[in-house]
Structure 1
Amino acid sequence: MQLKLKNGLKKPNPMSVETLDKPAPAARRLTHRETMWIVAGVLLPVFMASFDQSMVATTLPTIGREFGSTGQLSWVVTAYLLTSTAATPLYGKISDTRGRRSTMLVGIIIFIVGAAASALAPNMTMLILARGLQGIGGAGLVAQAMTVLGDIAPPKERAKYYTYFSIIYTTAGGVGPVVGGYFAQHLHWSLVFWVSVPMGIVSFALTSSLLRKLPRYEKYHRLDVIAALLIVAASSTLMLVMNTGGKTWPWLSAEILSFSAASAILWMLFFLRLLQAPEPLIPLGILRNPIVRCAIVANSFGWSAVIGLNIYLPLYLQTVMGKTPSESGLHLMVLMVTVNASALIGAQVAARMEHYKLYPMVTLVLCIACISWLAVRVDSISMLEFELVLALAGIGFGPVAPVSSVALQNAVVMHQLGTAISVMSFARSLFAAVLVAALGAVVLHAVGGEVMGGAASTLAADKDAATAAFRTLFWMTAGCFVIAFLGLLLMEERPLLTSNDARMG
């Protein structure tokens, strides 16, 4: 039995059980032209989010000099990560209730306001607060765009649209540092924030117009405010520990230990709330689904390892291989290029294979072998060999991302799609923060410096100690890829559906 609300949405009977066996009446199928216009409507917000994050890092030294506060620079990045990670699950839940279009529009507005406030910030404290506000808006852009993709295309057809998202996101990430560096060197650092304002206005107009024909799958969901506050507080505190431990404060300092204890208590309270709430913030059916759990493990551990490599490999090239910062950046381009190219191919292969897990499992074995080879040859590898190993590692990991994402989306009912995708994004961000902090604890002490925004801040290192530290780092990242492989191996290979109607609960 369901109760009809004034807004037309149906309030679920708490005694009812979600099922995929009794689909609701089919929604009108979009034409290819309509589908492409909807895709176009969310591509600019995706570009805007990726572009902003990649631009800001290159302007940090300039910002620090202007405000005379280099000690707080890492908080310009950390504030955005804290709020965007914490807010991600909320956007998923709200979009499952109020619809993707209105949720994304709210995210765009907050992002624009945060960008303008960042550009106008008179000091470092106000800039950090403004970046935190911008992160709240940014949390609703990429994850919501992927949810829209799930609304318009069934899992079997999703690969061809995933290609557009990947190209836009990767292009923005590659162009951002170049544009940000130019603004900081030749114009003014505030332009890296001002440029988001006109892009955001255009994004708002396009999203408002083009997403009107988006199929509506939302149902009434009560937002558990207590759980929302708990997860925001718990994740923010954990991210704070991961981003400041060993940098702002020593790992065993009173500050880090206090924040760690607070985070542990908040997480326990959050999970207790999930068990007791009449309608949990994250539906327990999603967490109990073994396909969802395995997909999150494969996606999160794999991406965390890639992010860790992307952050610390420049330091390896400079301290162990003797390369300059600009040379190390050029040598690392091959990793992200091959990861994204391989992801596109993997998405296409998955759409055409009945046993779609086989291809990413085989390629992931190649990735594990390559990173293990780096660990063995850490102090004797040639640059040509290094480039080849990185290229093969990128090719090996690429297919894991689209296959794990599609498998998760294939396993949940449509009115919980936004929540499921946001949970995966949230887990990926948390796992990445934990791994980056763990790798930093291994490496940064050995090389005598810290990494800020993905760049090495010092070359004062004992080469033998650095070599041993990076050997450990490579074994740790190889271990993360092994866990990702186990997630794929244990994930049930449910046939990809050819229609979203079969997933309407």
Structure 2
Amino acid sequence: MGVSSSKAAMERRPLLEDVAPVYSALDDADESASDTSTLAETESVEPPPLNKFSRAETCWILAGLWSAVFLGALDGTVVATLLSPIGSYFNKSNQASYIGTSYLLSVCCFTPLYGQLSDILGRKGAMLLALSLFGFGTLFCALANSMESLIVARAVAGMGGGGYIVSSIVVTDLIPLKQRGLYQGMANILFGLGAGIGGPLGGWINDLFGWQAAFLFQAPILLFSFVLVSLKVNIRLPSDIENRSLSEKLRRIDFLGSLTLVGTVGCLLLGFSLKTSEEIPWSDPLIWGLFTASAVSGVLFIAVEKYVAPYPVMPLRLITQRTPLAVSMSNFFGSMAAFSAVRFIYFLYNVPLYFTAVRMYSAANSGLHLLPNSIAISTGSVFAGWQNTNNRMMRRTGKLYRLTLCSGFMCILASISIVLWNDDTSQIHLWFDIVPSGFGMASLITTTLIAMIAGVMKEDMAVATGVTYLFRTTGQVLGVSISGTILQAVLLQKLRLRIQGPGSAEVNSPRHSTSIISTLDPLTKAAAVSSYADALRVVFICQAAWNFLAFLWCIPIQEHELP
């Protein structure tokens, strides 16, 4: 896992090569006297710092960035709560799933563009563009007068939502890489907080003021973030980048590569979404036509990135390197596993769905079983960052390899435990078996992001961050789509097998609403419960397989000294 001395020297250079230490609180308190003298000698020969911020200025910058992260998480769970009342309002409940799908597709397709835009427009310009698109999209959602216009508005909001990776790039500019994980964990706490309170808050606002108000109430947080980013995020790029003309900057944007990328990801995810939500057969020309279009766009995307684009949005030379490829694939399969526990089709989580449809718990009780996992998600990333910051060996060597493997292994253990759930499983297992998955995945995405940043050249760090988020978001949406498809296919097969004769008309009712199960006659109820148990076990097995693949892709990750 060693690298040549010349490459290692280049990899130790910061993203902005003239950036000085941010402030003394971020410096390593345990540095020896010789390290201090070496630093002094270095400063005596290097040019003045390009970016230097006081502690207060840095706090304001982080407040502006992290308020946007909080808002993004809040918006996701608020909208998930509003899907049912919105569908009823427009009398188009069958189309409500496209509200979530359009946003996810847009985020997934536009996320990698912001890594490139942050180098072209600057950190502030890219972040303000993201906030503007998200703000306009959210405002149009509140003013939408039809389901179709609302779906389009959510797609516009998703174009801005993909830009939140700029906050991660800015933190990399400001924070020493050996402390990067701790700050990523702090951001994840805010993300978890926003996701946790979004659902109850959205429901409360909807009950009092209507679903339109739930979009409008996000405006103060958005305005707060926009003002702070405008005033405080004054990250200067090297002069050779800042002095380019606007036309030259625009020529560096990979429009053709972006278009083919959108076609590749969009057609693939739309095919899975239509197959699941509309129950269209695989043989339908629309489904295989979308998959064919995705494959053709994928080939064109690779050709454009390799032979046409002078500044590709996803450089193939980057993704074919050992560590970037391993990090990208581990994030892809890990996100598939994590989000295979989510079904946006009927707006339920598969784990709570197990408690609702198999254990016959109330919705409130089912939701409470996710509380330990939510806490684990919020603390896992902080733990990984704290280990990297406070453990002497990791701080001096940047060795996150063992922690990465341990995190991946925890996800596998959790998946296997959930697969083994049955009627005799104790309450302790039902409450805590999922915890290692949340803790491990949160830690994994932190350590792999640090490995990606440390494993690429200085000029590739922003693009590499965008590539990481691209694979992560693609895995998330595929996990949602594929798990929903598998669940519905197995569930329908088992229901048709178990419910025959006079009661065969009841086959579809348990699939569309779990609340109907308790009203069925005893024999049909038992058949529905058993069918859900079998279908969910297949989904959980797939989740375990994806976690195992994520673990395998963690093995090739190389360790590099953290600058």
Q: Same fold (TM over 0.5)?
A: yes
Deviation at 1:408, TM superposition (A): 0.7
Deviation at 1:159, TM superposition (A): 2.5
Aligned residue number for residue 502 of structure 1: none
Taking structure 1 as reference, are residues 345 and 25 closer, same or farther at Cα in structure 2, changes over 3 Å only? closer
AA aligned opposite 1:478: A
C-alpha contact 2:119 2:462 (8 A) present in aligned 1: yes
Deviation at 1:450, TM superposition (A): 11
Q: Which of 305, 322, 327 is the matching residue for 1:290?
A: 322
Deviation at 1:334, TM superposition (A): 1.7
The question of 1:485 aligning with 2:523 is answered: no
C-alpha contact 1:96 1:417 (8 A) present in aligned 2: no
Aligned residue number for residue 480 of structure 2: 436
Aligned residue number for residue 35 of structure 2: none
- Inter-partner Cα distance in structure 2 for 1:451 and 1:138: 35
C-alpha contact 2:327 2:451 (8 A) present in aligned 1: yes
Deviation at 1:299, TM superposition (A): 2.1
Aligned residue number for residue 231 of structure 1: 261
Query: % of aligned pairs identical?
Result: 25
Taking structure 1 as reference, are residues 396 and 25 closer, same or farther at Cα in structure 2, changes over 3 Å only? closer
Aligned residue number for residue 347 of structure 1: 385
Aligned residue number for residue 276 of structure 2: 246
TM-score, normalised relative to structure 2? 0.79
- Inter-partner Cα distance in structure 1 for 2:312 and 2:409: 37
5+ residue gaps, structure 2, are 1-6, 26-54, 242-248, 343-348, 493-507, 518-524
Within 5 Å, give how 1:170-319 maps onto structure 2: 170-212=192-234, 214-216=235-237, 219=241, 222-252=252-282, 253-277=284-308, 278-310=310-342, 311-319=349-357
C-alpha contact 1:444 1:450 (8 A) present in aligned 2: no
C-alpha contact 1:317 1:323 (8 A) present in aligned 2: yes
Aligned residue number for residue 520 of structure 2: none
Q: Deviations over 1:108-149 (max 9, x none)?
A: 1111111111101111111111111111111112x1111111
AA aligned opposite 1:242: F
Taking structure 1 as reference, are residues 451 and 338 closer, same or farther at Cα in structure 2, changes over 3 Å only? farther
Aligned residue number for residue 109 of structure 1: 132
Deviation at 1:456, TM superposition (A): 6.2
Taking structure 1 as reference, are residues 157 and 392 closer, same or farther at Cα in structure 2, changes over 3 Å only? closer
Aligned residue number for residue 374 of structure 2: 336
Deviation at 1:82, TM superposition (A): 1.5
AA aligned opposite 1:103: A
AA aligned opposite 1:362: C
SS in 2 for 1:412: coil
C-alpha contact 1:120 1:190 (8 A) present in aligned 2: yes
Aligned residue number for residue 444 of structure 2: 400
Deviation at 1:410, TM superposition (A): 1.2
- Inter-partner Cα distance in structure 1 for 2:509 and 2:313: 37
C-alpha contact 2:334 2:475 (8 A) present in aligned 1: no
SS in 1 for 2:163: coil
Bigger radius of gyration: 2
Deviation at 1:444, TM superposition (A): 2.0
SS in 2 for 1:380: coil
C-alpha contact 1:249 1:255 (8 A) present in aligned 2: no
Deviation at 1:341, TM superposition (A): 1.1
AA aligned opposite 2:21: R
SS in 2 for 1:140: helix
SS in 1 for 2:10: coil
AA aligned opposite 1:382: S
5+ residue gaps, structure 1, are 1-16, 498-505
Q: How many positions carry a matched residue from both structures?
A: 477
C-alpha contact 2:185 2:378 (8 A) present in aligned 1: no
SS in 2 for 1:335: helix
SS in 1 for 2:136: helix
Taking structure 1 as reference, are residues 257 and 421 closer, same or farther at Cα in structure 2, changes over 3 Å only? same
Aligned residue number for residue 77 of structure 1: 100
Within 5 Å, give how 1:133-148 maps onto structure 2: 133-141=156-164, 143-148=165-170
C-alpha contact 2:103 2:155 (8 A) present in aligned 1: yes
TM-score, normalised relative to structure 1? 0.88
- Inter-partner Cα distance in structure 2 for 1:458 and 1:210: 54
C-alpha contact 1:84 1:138 (8 A) present in aligned 2: yes
150-159 vs 241-250, which moves further: 241-250
Q: Deviations over 1:211-231 (max 9, x none)?
A: 01x242584672222111111
Taking structure 1 as reference, are residues 37 and 115 closer, same or farther at Cα in structure 2, changes over 3 Å only? same
Taking structure 1 as reference, are residues 385 and 22 closer, same or farther at Cα in structure 2, changes over 3 Å only? closer
- Inter-partner Cα distance in structure 2 for 1:150 and 1:451: 49
Aligned residue number for residue 51 of structure 1: 74
SS in 1 for 2:138: helix
Q: Deviations over 1:471-490 (max 9, x none)?
A: 22222111111112112211
C-alpha contact 2:404 2:447 (8 A) present in aligned 1: yes
Taking structure 1 as reference, are residues 97 and 450 closer, same or farther at Cα in structure 2, changes over 3 Å only? farther
Deviation at 1:346, TM superposition (A): 1.5
Taking structure 1 as reference, are residues 242 and 117 closer, same or farther at Cα in structure 2, changes over 3 Å only? same
AA aligned opposite 1:321: R
AA aligned opposite 2:10: L
Q: Deviations over 1:380-417 (max 9, x none)?
A: 32232211212233333332121011111112233332
